A and B are shown apart, each in its own frame.
Chain A
Amino acid sequence: MKAHRWYTPWLLVVPALAFLGAFSLWPAINTLLLSFTNVHTLTGGRFIGAANYTRLWHDPQLWDAIINTLLYMAVCVPLLTFLPLLLAMLVQRTLPFMGFFRTVFYFPVIASAVTVALIWQWLLDDRGLVNDLATEVGVVHKAVPFLEDRWLLLFSAIALTVWKGLGYYMVLYLSALGNVRRELHEAAAVDGAGGVRRFWHVTLPGVRGTTLLVSILIGVSAMRVFTELYILGGSTGGIGGQDVSLVFLIEQYGSGFDGQLGYASALSVLLFVLTAVPLIVLARLNRRNEG
């Protein structure tokens, strides 16, 4: 058999590398460079050193954005890592109508995020279905300010994200659960392990790789939350802009014909750093567990 030339593997990966370089690496480097300039959408572009990073510390909205974003991630990661697993274990069983329930749970995934958020907005409005029902039943005497109170709006958005994401991650877990050998469950049962112990010692280790993948995916997407807060809180980010996320701020500063692209780039770099830290922690935890 004729030996490959040394450059053959490189030749094969060139298209992928070119694509990655043009559409991922270069924009990333460009963002970093722009963060040191005063570039606006149509004007500027002068090097201003670390002025954009200094400005971050004095931005009154930034701390709200960081708190909201980290809280979003802190709540979404555990909920969307474990609830879909429990759901997958439920619908995995061969019971009547399970196909129907799988479809029902997956349905929010195929719906557009904007459409779903708009439906939730109508539901949670002062005169929406939720408040109407709660008032009719007598649970509350006046409308619950879901879309006005800072924390209620944030947790409504988190609930929406969790509800919409359940089906997607459930499907990932269904696939992973299929790879957990039935014999392990049977052996554990023979040894006297109950349902909870089998879950902890057989199911969970069996889907650990998927759990890590799911938690990373959720972590990254939670750090990039935008649509839910934008639709529920409006273009100002809730009352007084208290429900903004980091991506929300990037959009706010960077868009439009007067967009401050330099500052928006600095915010993007900050978002990257904040996203990278938990990812590194998760990766290290995983490596330690594997070791």
Chain B
Amino acid sequence: MRTSRLGSVAAFGVAASLVLSGCGVGGGSGGGDSQQTVSSAGSLSGSIAFQTWSLKNATFTPYFTSLIKAFEKLHPGTAINWIDQPGANYPDKVTSQVTGDSLPDVVNLPPDIAHTVAKTGDLLDLTKNDPSIAQTYVASGLSAYEYKDTGTGGDSFAFPWYLGTDVNYWNKAMLAKDGLSTTDLPTSLDQLIADAKIMHDKSGGKDYLMSRAPGLMDFANAGAPLLDSAGTAFAFNTPAAVKVLQQYTAAYQAGYLPSNVLTSTYEGNSALFLKQEVAWTTGGGNYIQSTEQTNPSLVSSIVPSAAIGTPPLYVQGISVSSKSRNLPLALAFAEYVTNSANQAAFIQLAQGFEPGTKDASTLAATNDVGMQAQASAIAEKDVENGVNFTPPIWTSAMDTILNQQIALAMTGKESAKTALDNVVTQANALLGQ
């Protein structure tokens, strides 16, 4: 019948659109001009928005309130509207701000998010607008915001703000119980795996030392260059990286790592360390202090040591939106937030982190005592030597591929060489798409 056929077609069309629209996706945004020249030297006026990431709390709110008041007092007629975004889904929030042309004038961005935003031209090139940037800020922090695939070369898209690293933390009670030294701690992957075997054998497979799969940092520390000489393609499928993956695979298959490190029930080495199921974790410089809140009874058993190999560097920076309607004020405020005095004051509150300016660490006094003082000293040294291992062109999709291939290798479904070749091939393919 004609009516029922028409009805069927209409119903099918609606069902079709529902299925498709359920998967519907949006589009990109128009770019800004990152290469504008801005001067913050003149008289400032008007208002801007300043966005931080998960810093509105009892510890930091008073700091930002007084920081903003002091700036407004210094520059009468200006107003800073402080916004803080919650910790979860920050990349999505920034994405929607960029696509909606509502990126705040001054915004706290980590290097990976800043890279994506910089590619749209929405971040101001700060090297061009702050001639003393290289003299003021630490080189490791600045380099995290220098991207080869965007801008004109030699640009930096954020003022380094606070820097973190990984310190090793060991459970000396577990080490001692399983016959391992609490002072002669592993300083290489070989030693780590050897100690993991001892712990496994002594405890009958109940205690673990290691509890994570390898990542880019491990390959880089083994001597594998993550990028090719031009810095435009991945090239870490080297024999050195293959050896690291083979070592982890052998350790996993021998039972030296918890069996679920590759599955969805893996809680992370820090959580397992807090539960005293593993004797080694890495964490920020303030890990001992934060453990006092989560597991006070564990604190007396924790011993810190320097990271194995070159320590990683985690950077937070302050960027300026190139689409800001008040660029002079935005630039001035970004410089103010990240000047040495303010960074020193901030670091007093952000225990375990280091400032992004060269002379702020000398201004920052520390009240740490005991093992926390030892951990803070290690963190300070590690930040100086640290490297931001993750190349800016590395994306979350590539990270998924890496984790998938590492899991295939560690479960013996693929050789370490094949797995790393696959990661490099697929990641390089993604670069061109």
Residues of A within 8 A of B (CB): 20, 23-28, 30-32, 34, 38-45, 55, 60, 121-122, 125-128, 143, 147-148, 220, 223-224, 231-237, 239-241, 247, 250, 252-261, 263-265, 267-269, 271-272, 275-276, 279-280, 283
Contacts and interface: CB of A to CB of B under 8 A. Distances in A.
A206 B85 CA distance: 56
B293 interface: no
Contacts of A265: 23, 25
Interface in B207-232: none
Interface of A is mostly: helix
Interface string B29-52: 100000000000000000000000
Given A256-B395, A272-B19, 11 more contacts: A27-B20, A42-B116, A45-B28, A231-B264, A240-B405, A247-B23, A254-B25, A258-B396, A261-B25, A279-B12, A283-B12
A224 B24 CA distance: 13
Contacts of A232: 264
B123 to A, nearest CB: 12
B20 A39 contact: no
A24 B28 contact: no
A288 to B, nearest CB: 13
A25 to B, nearest CB: 5
Nearest to A23: B21
Given A23-B21, A40-B28, A234-B263, A256 B91 contact: yes
B128 interface: no
Interface string B85-124: 0000001101100110000000000000100110110000
B24 A239 contact: no
Nearest to A20: B14
Question: By DSSP majority rule, is chain B's interface helix, strand, loop, or mixed?
Answer: helix
B12 to A, nearest CB: 7
Interface stretch (B53-61, B295-303, B406-414): B406-414
A28, A240, A256: which has the most chain B beta carbons within 10 Å? A240
B28 A240 contact: no
27 contacts: A20-B17, A25-B17, A31-B20, A31-B21, A41-B95, A41-B99, A42-B95, A45-B27, A55-B433, A122-B265, A125-B263, A147-B264, A220-B19, A235-B264, A236-B403, A236-B404, A239-B262, A256-B92, A256-B397, A257-B116, A260-B430, A260-B433, A261-B27, A261-B28, A263-B433, A272-B16, A276-B16
Contacts of A239: 262-263, 404, 407-408, 411, 413
Interface of B: 8, 12, 14-29, 91-92, 94-95, 98-99, 113, 116-117, 119-120, 259-260, 262-266, 395-397, 400-401, 403-405, 407-408, 411, 413-414, 426, 430, 433
Contact of B113 (A31, A257, A280): A257
A115 to B, nearest CB: 15
B402 to A, nearest CB: 9
A223 B22 CA distance: 12
Contacts of B430: 260
Nearest to A250: B23
Contacts of B92: 255-257
A32 to B, nearest CB: 7
Given A25-B17, A240-B405, A276-B16, A121 B265 contact: yes
Nearest to B11: A283
B24 A31 contact: yes
Contacts of A256: 91-92, 95, 395-397
Q: Across chains A and B, which 9 residue pairs bring their CB atoms closest together, nearest first?
A: A234-B264, A27-B24, A268-B23, A27-B21, A28-B20, A240-B408, A241-B404, A28-B17, A258-B395
Nearest to A251: B23
A30 to B, nearest CB: 6
A252 B397 contact: yes
A148 B120 contact: no
Nearest to B27: A39
A31 B25 contact: yes
Contact of A240 (B8, B19, B259, B404): B404
B235 to A, nearest CB: 20
B107 to A, nearest CB: 13
A60 B263 CA distance: 21
Contacts of B27: 34, 39, 45, 261
Contacts of B116: 41-42, 257-258
A233 B20 CA distance: 25
B332 to A, nearest CB: 27
A125 to B, nearest CB: 4
Listed residue (A122, A268, A280) with the most chain B CB atoms within 10 angstroms of its CB: A268
A24 B408 contact: no
Nearest to B25: A261
Output the residue of A28, A232, A235, A271 with the most chain B CB within 10 A.
A28
B20 A32 contact: yes
A112 B98 CA distance: 33
Contacts of A247: 23
Nearest to B90: A257
A27 to B, nearest CB: 3
A43 B397 contact: no
A275 B19 contact: yes
B196 to A, nearest CB: 18
Given A32-B20, A279-B12, A268 B25 contact: yes
Nearest to B30: A45
Contacts of A236: 400, 403-404, 407
Nearest to A239: B407
A40 B25 CA distance: 10
Given A126-B260, A241-B404, A253 B397 contact: yes
Nearest to B93: A257
